[in-house]
Structure 1
């Protein structure tokens, strides 16, 4: 093990934030039970916010972002994790106000760590990352009430990290999928993947006059939030279910109670931060086995040097799919 290692560090100088590769010491890492050599991380919207100084995500700088990491245990004082064990770390405070995955080594509490199931590599784990885990949570909730024969499922933000994995999982499980995206150029790619119908975000935002619309969807996986979520809820059929996990479209929405009291629609919030490790383990096992996807086909691999460009594309809305960072 090296005494020094490379890390992407964001520093604040005269009110401006800049990120660059630096050398850090193992002693610089926060206290924790387990030291891990990071193989891969990945880039999420929350990472982009951390890199650019969103105080709701990261309060103090200098800081190494990265809310996801997968690698192998180097040393441990926690008996659950032996040297060489392949593990994944995400959620809790990792990468937010605690040093994150955009570096060669991390040290974290044992309670933040999930052992990787057999058959799932560290690269594949980061091809999914928090986005994939969130998509898996959403699909699992949907399966409690919705079956493929019940009707199509609508996915909003279908070209983003969570949305793209959710679409792939639903198609694998035999659902008819309709997709909402603000990127019209992506319609052909979604249809080639198996999506039956691609709809524009604006088409839903323009239809806001009636409290209930035709019950077209058995369920919805929403990754956008805000007015779009308020609009699509009106299209859910009786007994349907809606999951929601994001607020890129806004944190507030205005809607009536009619979908809930006249159609029995259920709205389920998805949180990937405080999810117990036992639930994470079950979801990772699904992704390694019966829900396994050909992630290599829709993931791009970049280096720590590429992080500023990836962050920019996330913030300006041009980013597509999933980006894995090879550490």
Structure 2
């Protein structure tokens, strides 16, 4: 049996503890595909799990890591063979099933997608659940019938992982994009991603009227709470907002006014267990539309040795964009 390194979360009478450990292949959970993990990434949910600050982990011990990319070493699944380069996001990884913060993974092939060219494993992890969620939001708006000529698109939490990709994807699709951020120093970063207007977070974070001046044709909201309520109140007739996050909390202090007086639609976006067809379509669209340079602007690559400390720091809002973990497998960057 081959030994491998992992970050493992254990729980005892003193609470949760995350640390580096040495594990063996026999320690892996069930699955029909084995993967040598080349790259993973740090998501906000991973930070919560490592810090023990939220009910993320549903069983112990647990290897965190919502995202992973790597090379198949064994497969009993009909769609995959040894040597395939694959990517997995969400699907309970790091929550109920061992995730990507390890050099090896054993997974269900139903959670995997072959990596579409020209994406590399590192750039796929720079995209990860965050970029995939942003793409699901864009696809939801397109299914609604929204078009760039309808007006201004707005993205909240624009310097975060999902928000950054939403700005870039909407701009690539031809939208004029307003990026909402509480970090005035990040204007240049957001403009490089394609934002044409920067809005201060305070403009949307205080309670407002049920209906306000019509401002946006569509929106992608990663924040929730009062911000989402204001976003809906400022959305134009027949507009739509795709909601995918709750950084500001689970409460939604809004009225039905935008829905029944302006025909605004609220589109819920779920990224943990989307249909495999939708997931693969999203990856194909990302590979086609996202400029590799834009992906690189939004990400940095760190070593596995630094992953634990950086995972803890994301909970304090100290990470911009995406942090990719190089596991040292030496697949193409």
Do they fold alike, i.e. is TM over 0.5?
Answer: yes
Task: Say if 1:156 and 1:28 are closer, same or farther in 2 by CA, change over 3 A.
Answer: same
For 1:181 and 1:297, the matched residues in 2 are separated by 17
Q: Answer yes or no: is 1:320 the counterpart of 2:320.
A: yes
Contact 1:134 1:272 in 2 (8 A): yes
Q: Answer yes or no: is 1:86 the counterpart of 2:85.
A: yes
Alpha-carbon distance, 1:22 to partner: 1.4
Alignment of 1:249-264 (within 5 A): 249-264=248-263
Alpha-carbon distance, 1:171 to partner: 1.3
Contact 2:113 2:280 in 1 (8 A): yes
Contact 1:227 1:250 in 2 (8 A): no
| 2:138 alignment counterpart | 139
Alpha-carbon distance, 1:278 to partner: 1.1
For 2:39 and 2:188, the matched residues in 1 are separated by 30
- 1:165-194 per-residue CA deviation (whole Å, 9 max, x = no partner) reads 110111112211111112222123223443
Contact 1:155 1:179 in 2 (8 A): yes
Contact 1:33 1:109 in 2 (8 A): yes
Alpha-carbon distance, 1:55 to partner: 5.5
Alignment of 1:158-197 (within 5 A): 158-197=158-197
- 1:33-58 per-residue CA deviation (whole Å, 9 max, x = no partner) reads 01011110001011111112245210
For 2:194 and 2:35, the matched residues in 1 are separated by 39
For 1:119 and 1:151, the matched residues in 2 are separated by 31
The 3-state SS of whatever aligns with 1:289 is helix
For 1:118 and 1:59, the matched residues in 2 are separated by 35
For 1:257 and 1:181, the matched residues in 2 are separated by 26
Alpha-carbon distance, 1:312 to partner: 3.0
- 1:101-157 per-residue CA deviation (whole Å, 9 max, x = no partner) reads 000110011111111123221112111000010000001112232211111101000
The 3-state SS of whatever aligns with 1:125 is helix
Can you give the 5+ residue segments of structure 2 that lack an aligned partner in the other structure?
Answer: 328-333
| 1:239 alignment counterpart | 238
| 2:221 alignment counterpart | 222
For 1:204 and 1:233, the matched residues in 2 are separated by 10
Contact 2:126 2:299 in 1 (8 A): yes
| 1:63 alignment counterpart | 62
For 1:106 and 1:308, the matched residues in 2 are separated by 18
| 1:51 alignment counterpart | 50
- 1:215-257 per-residue CA deviation (whole Å, 9 max, x = no partner) reads 1100010001111111111000001010011111110111111
Q: CA RMSD in A?
A: 1.6
For 1:164 and 1:230, the matched residues in 2 are separated by 21
| 1:201 alignment counterpart | 201
**TM-score for the superposition, normalised by structure 1:** 0.95
For 2:246 and 2:154, the matched residues in 1 are separated by 17
Contact 2:158 2:179 in 1 (8 A): yes
**TM-score for the superposition, normalised by structure 2:** 0.93
Alpha-carbon distance, 1:292 to partner: 4.3
Contact 1:43 1:322 in 2 (8 A): yes
The 3-state SS of whatever aligns with 1:11 is strand
